[in-house]
Amino acid sequence: MNKIKIAVIGCGGISGCHLGGYSRNKDVEIYALCDINKERAEGRAKEYGVPLERVFTDKCEMFKALPEIDAVSVCTWNNAHAECTFAALEAGKHVLCEKPMAMNAEEAKAMKAAAEKAGKLLMIGFVRRHGNDARVVKDFIDNGYFGDIYYAKAQYLRRNGNPGGWFGDKSRSGGGPLIDLGVHVIDLVRYLVGRPKPVSAYGATFHKLGNRPDVKGARGYSAADAGDKAKEICDVEDLASALIRFDNGMTLSVEASFSLNTKSDIGNIELYGDKAGAKMDPELHLYTNINGYMANVDFASSTALSFSGLFDNEINHYVDCVLGRAESMAPAEDGVILMKILDAIYKSAATGHEVVIE
Ligand SMILES: NC(=O)c1ccc[n+]([C@@H]2O[C@H](COP(=O)([O-])OP(=O)(O)OC[C@H]3O[C@@H](n4cnc5c(N)ncnc54)[C@H](O)[C@@H]3O)[C@@H](O)[C@H]2O)c1
C-alpha cells in the first residue's frame, strides 16, 4: 500500500508530538512542512528528513505546489486554525486540527461546514480522549458502574504556568487558561459521560496575577515565541471558573488557571454517580458500596495518564480514519459544541449572568 502523504502546518512545540507520531506510523510519509517562521519549519525538516524544497511559509503555496498531499495536521496558534483548515479542505485534504478547534463557535461552525462541503475528515485534537486513563473510566461508565452521573468536577490549575508568547495574547489565542487548558478537561468529562448537549453556562474570569513577571526563577512552560516575560502581552484571564449544565441533568464545575496562589499544579477530574463516584488525580480511585459498606477502590496497576504514547494513539487513530479503517472519535461536531461552551462561559463572565447555549 502507498503511504499517505502528510503535511504539518505550524512547526512549534506541539508539532513535535504530531511528527513523532507520524514518524512511528508505517502508513505515513511526512511529506511537507509549513510555518510562517521559516527557520522553525526548516529545523523540523532536518529533524524528520523532509527535503527543504518541501518546506513552505504559506500553506496555499504548499497545496498548489504539492497536490499529492493527502492530509494535514494544523498545529498553529489558535487564530490560524480556521484559515489553515479552510485552505486544506478547499485543496481536498483531510484535517486534524489542534485544540481548541477555533477562536469561537462561529469560526468552528464554518470549519465544520467546509469539511462537509469538501467531503473530507475534520478531526479535532482532543488528545485526552486517547489517554489510557480515559479508556479505563469509559469502560466503567459504559458498563453502568456509576449509575446516573449527575455532577462532575474538573480542575486544570497551574500556579505559575502562563507559557507567555501568543498564549497570553488574546488576538492569537482567543483567551487564557479556559480555552487552552479548560478545553481539555471539559471535553474529557463530556466525552466520558456520553457527549450530552450543553444547555447553559455560568462563569467568571479573573485578571489578577497576569503572567507573574515578579516571580523569580525558572518557568515550567514556555511558548516557542515567548520573549521577555516582563514586557510581553498578557491580556487573557489568569483564572476561569464555571458551572455548565447539560441536557441529561448533569452539571460540571470547572476551574482552569495559568496563575494562581495555590500550593501546586492540579489536574483533577471527579465524577459523581448515584451508584459510585470516581476521582482521577491522576490515579483512578472509585467510591462505592461493597456488600452494604461504603468502600474505596484502588487499582493494582497504574491507571494514571501516561504521556508516553498519548499522541501516538491520537495520530494512529487519525491515520486509520484517513485510510477508512476507523470512524473519527473526535468529530468536528464535538469541537463546535466545545467552542459554544467556551463562548458561553466568556460571555457569562463578561455579563455576570447565566448564558443559554443553543
Ligand atoms: N493537545 C495538546 O495537549 C496541546 C499542547 C500544546 C499546544 N496545543 C495546541 O497546539 C497549537 C500550537 O501550540 P504550540 O504550543 O505548538 O505553539 P508554538 O508557538 O510552539 O507553535 C505554533 C507555530 O505555529 C506557527 N504559525 C502561526 N500561524 C501560522 C500560519 N498562519 N501558518 C503557518 N504557521 C503558523 C508559528 O510560527 C509557530 O511556529 C495551539 O492551538 C495549542 O492550543 C495542544
pLDDT digits (tens, 9 = 90+) for 270-280: 999 999 999 99
Q: Are 31 and 54 in contact (CB under 8 A)?
A: yes
13 C-alpha to center of ligand 1: Å?
7
Helical segments of 201-331, H only: 310-322
Domain count, the chain: 2
Query: In this structure, are 82 and 168 located in the same domain?
Result: no
Q: Is any ligand 1 atom within 6 A of the Cβ of residue 56?
A: no
Closest CA to ligand 1's atom 19: 224
Q: What is the CATH number of the domain that holds 94?
A: 3.40.50.720
Q: Is any ligand 1 atom within 6 A of the Cβ of residue 223?
A: yes
**What is the percent of the chain with per-residue pLDDT over 90, rounded to a whole number?**
91
Cell of 337: 459544541
Q: Which run of H or of E encompasses 267?
A: strand 266-273
Query: In this structure, are 85 and 65 located in the same domain?
Result: yes
pLDDT tier at 46, thresholds 50, 70, 90 = very high
pLDDT tier at 231, thresholds 50, 70, 90 = low
pLDDT value of residue 233? 87
pLDDT value of residue 220? 63
* Residue range 202-217: mean pLDDT, rounded: 89
Query: In this structure, are 61 and 138 located in the same domain?
Result: no
In a domain, 312, yes or no: no
* Residue range 199-217: mean pLDDT, rounded: 90
Q: Is any ligand 1 atom within 6 A of the Cβ of residue 10?
A: yes
- Write out the residue range of the structural domain in which residue 49 sits: 4-125+323-328
Identity of the residue numbered 101: M
**Which atom of ligand 1 is the closest one to the Cα of 126?**
1
Say which residues have a Cβ less than 8 Å from residue 141's Cβ, sequence separation at least 6: 149, 192, 193, 194, 271
Q: Is 324's pLDDT higher than 80?
A: yes
Query: In this structure, are 58 and 145 located in the same domain?
Result: no
**Which atom of ligand 1 is the closest one to the Cα of 15?**
16
pLDDT value of residue 141? 98
Query: In this structure, are 258 and 140 located in the same domain?
Result: yes
Cα three-residue angle 11-237-190, rounded to 5 degrees? 75
User: Over the stretch 289-319, which tens digit does the pLDDT of each residue have?
Assistant: 999 999 999 999 999 999 889 999 999 999 9
pLDDT value of residue 215? 81
Which of 58, 76, 111, 306 best tests ligand 1's pocket when mutated (most atoms within 8 Å of CB)? 76
pLDDT value of residue 224? 75
Q: Is any ligand 1 atom within 6 A of the Cβ of residue 37?
A: yes
- Distance between CA atoms of residues 189 and 270, nearest Å: 9
Q: Is 230's pLDDT higher than 70?
A: no
pLDDT value of residue 213? 78
Q: Is 210's pLDDT higher than 70?
A: yes
Q: Is any ligand 1 atom within 6 A of the Cβ of residue 74?
A: no
In a domain, 356, yes or no: no
pLDDT value of residue 228? 67
Q: Name the CA dihedral angle for 36, 37, 41, 42, rounded to a multiple of 10 degrees.
A: 130
* Residue range 129-137: mean pLDDT, rounded: 97
Identity of the residue numbered 72: V
Q: Is any ligand 1 atom within 6 A of the Cβ of residue 98?
A: yes
Query: In this structure, are 118 and 140 located in the same domain?
Result: no
- The sign of the dihedral angle between the CA atoms of 62, 314, 75, 21 is negative
Closest CA to ligand 1's atom 7: 14
pLDDT value of residue 304? 94
- Distance between CA atoms of residues 231 and 319, nearest Å: 41
* Residue range 243-261: mean pLDDT, rounded: 97
In a domain, 48, yes or no: yes
In a domain, 337, yes or no: no
* Residue range 315-327: mean pLDDT, rounded: 98
Closest CA to ligand 1's atom 40: 77
In a domain, 335, yes or no: no
Query: In this structure, are 135 and 96 located in the same domain?
Result: no
In a domain, 59, yes or no: yes
Identity of the residue numbered 303: T
* Residue range 99-116: mean pLDDT, rounded: 98
Q: Which residue has the cell 483548515?
A: 85
Say which residues have a Cβ less than 8 Å from residue 175's Cβ, sequence separation at least 6: 236, 237, 342, 346
**Which atom of ligand 1 is the closest one to the Cα of 225?**
19
pLDDT tier at 146, thresholds 50, 70, 90 = very high
pLDDT value of residue 214? 79
Q: What is the CATH number of the domain that holds 181?
A: 3.30.360.10
Q: Are 71 and 93 in contact (CB under 8 A)?
A: yes
In a domain, 314, yes or no: no
Query: In this structure, are 228 and 278 located in the same domain?
Result: yes
User: To the nearest whole number, what is the mean pLDDT of the chain?
Assistant: 96
Query: In this structure, are 158 and 92 located in the same domain?
Result: no
**Which atom of ligand 1 is the closest one to the Cα of 127?**
1
pLDDT value of residue 330? 98
Q: Is any ligand 1 atom within 6 A of the Cβ of residue 192?
A: no
Q: Is any ligand 1 atom within 6 A of the Cβ of residue 14?
A: yes
Q: Is any ligand 1 atom within 6 A of the Cβ of residue 159?
A: no
Q: Is any ligand 1 atom within 6 A of the Cβ of residue 77?
A: yes
285 C-alpha to center of ligand 1: Å?
34
pLDDT value of residue 176? 98
Q: Is any ligand 1 atom within 6 A of the Cβ of residue 35?
A: yes
Q: Is 76's pLDDT higher than 70?
A: yes
* Residue range 121-142: mean pLDDT, rounded: 97
pLDDT tier at 229, thresholds 50, 70, 90 = low
332 C-alpha to center of ligand 1: Å?
19
15-23 vs 310-322: helix crossing angle, rounded to 10: 70
Q: Tell me the sheet residues that pair with 74.
A: 9, 97
Query: In this structure, are 87 and 134 located in the same domain?
Result: no
pLDDT value of residue 3? 97
Closest CA to ligand 1's atom 15: 13
In a domain, 318, yes or no: no
The distance of Cα 229 from the centroid of its chain, to the nearest Å, equals 25
Closest CA to ligand 1's atom 31: 80
pLDDT value of residue 204? 98
Q: Is 38's pLDDT higher than 80?
A: yes
pLDDT value of residue 335? 98
168 C-alpha to center of ligand 1: Å?
13
Q: Is 346's pLDDT higher than 70?
A: yes
The string of DSSP codes covering 118-178 is HT--EEEE-GGGGSHHHHHHHHHHHTTTT-SEEEEEEEEE-SB----GGGG-HHHHSSSHI
Query: In this structure, are 156 and 32 located in the same domain?
Result: no
pLDDT value of residue 221? 75
Closest of 168, 307, 151 to residue 231, by C-alpha: 168
pLDDT value of residue 226? 73
Query: In this structure, are 143 and 161 located in the same domain?
Result: yes
